[in-house]
Amino acid sequence: MSEPLTQPPAADPASGRPDAAALEGRAAALDAQDPLAAVRDRFDLVTGEVYLDGNSLGPPTTRIMERLGDVVGREWGRLGIRSWDGSGWWTAPERIGDRIGALVGAAPGQVVVGDSTSVNVFKALVAAVRMAPDGRDEILVDAATFPTDGYIAESAARMTGCTLRAVPAGEIGAAAGERTAAALVNHVDYRSGRLHDLPAVTAALHAAGALAVWDLCHSAGAVPVALDADGVDLAVGCTYKYLNGGPGSPAYLYVRGALQPRFDSPLPGWNSHADPFGMAPAYAPAEGALRGRVGTPEILSLLALDSALDAWDGVDLGDVRAKSLALTDFFLECVGALVPPGRVESVTPQAHAERGSQVSLRCQDAGEVMRALIARGVVGDHRRPDVLRFGFTPLYTRFADALHAARVLADILEGTP
């Protein structure tokens, strides 16, 4: 890991606020010492645009089109069905799962890629309840969860005869009791960017005898995740945000190795059968992570994801986290210096231990403001009613981009054309 990215703030003695004229020099200095600067060239970015929506959909890498062209033209077009074996299609869900596992602290053989995040949440939560000790009939869910997680949790509760209780993420550990079977928690809140304490919540759930299921959609590839070390039972995540797999790229499912023999999927498909081509009428689950598979893998999008993960070659995850915090610190500083006082309010925690890799600002007329930002080449998004979201992806976002985004936001809020 490289030295932290630091530069002393340039403050205006009169106001105590950072000197706007010096921010550009700060950005240049920070970009010059960025150990990830060269990784930006691995992405196909729009010239002149500042893309701060990687927490919703990451951009393509420069090699994806070449890889997809080969998959379609040669592997599918020339080899056809022979590619299931000859081109490694059949084993791709586990092979690519191991690549993602390296980014989330999972040893090989515990992550499988396939299906959507919603489907994997369902598999993980129902399986967790089935593995819980007898007599446990309660599922806890993060009260501020992404809506789909809540919908899936409610359905899983009905299916398993459990009650569902919504609890603030930070209180889930304390809320777990002798009737709690499992809890579904978001590692990073999608609205505010708040990072929840995965190790502490997991430990508290285990102390209560419950299983921990984590949603990593807004953390994997941007903040540290140590699934094995922290004893997480099951986890899910998408691959089209910080992992840049493309729209609709398949999600992944983590099942801790010790639990795999007991993992009882509510969606037993032919792809997870111990003898998938035996076509037996009775289901017999495969061993290991393969139990998380269901149907035929999404080969085109799966192999696009495989190519996208090449962008992580040689990247130190410690550098990623250090730059993420430095970028969000700097953006908040620039907003404080440039945006008219009182026009925006950060809802993202100041404390590094509680911050993901996005900045969310409460702003009146957020939808109109974001449309104006996008029209001027600063791409973020908003969540109703009043939150502007800016995602900072360390692999390609520069400090100069953070400054430019704050300047454009300030101009819009001041009414400057």
Angle, helix 92-103 to helix 299-308, in steps of 10 degrees: 30
DSSP state of 372: H
Residue 382 token pair? 């908003």
Query: Is 389 annotated as catalytic?
Result: yes
Find the catalytic residue in 115, 142, 149, 215.
215
To which residue do tokens 């129902």 refer? 126
List of E strands, 122-270: 138-142, 163-167, 180-186, 211-215, 234-237, 252-255
Query: Is 146 annotated as catalytic?
Result: yes
List, in sequence order, every residue forming a beta bridge with 388; answer none if it has no partner. 361, 382
- Spatial separation of the C-alpha atoms in residues 119 and 251, rounded to whole Å: 9
Find the catalytic residue in 26, 40, 241, 323.
241
203, 233 in Cβ contact below 8 A?
Answer: no
Q: Where are the alpha helices (DSSP H) in 177-269?
A: 198-207
- Spatial separation of the C-alpha atoms in residues 45 and 271, rounded to whole Å: 37
List, in sequence order, every residue forming a beta bridge with 188; answer none if it has no partner. 195
Torsion 381-387-391-397 (CA) sign = positive
To which residue do tokens 């986890």 refer? 235
Query: Is 240 annotated as catalytic?
Result: yes
Find the catalytic residue in 51, 190, 240, 396.
240
Find the catalytic residue in 122, 146, 190, 331.
146
In whole angstroms, how far apart are CA 198 and each of 183, 233, 239, 287, 409? 12, 12, 20, 28, 33
Find the catalytic residue in 42, 123, 323, 389.
389
CB count within 10 Å of CB 133 equals 10
Catalytic (active-site) positions: 146, 215, 240-241, 389
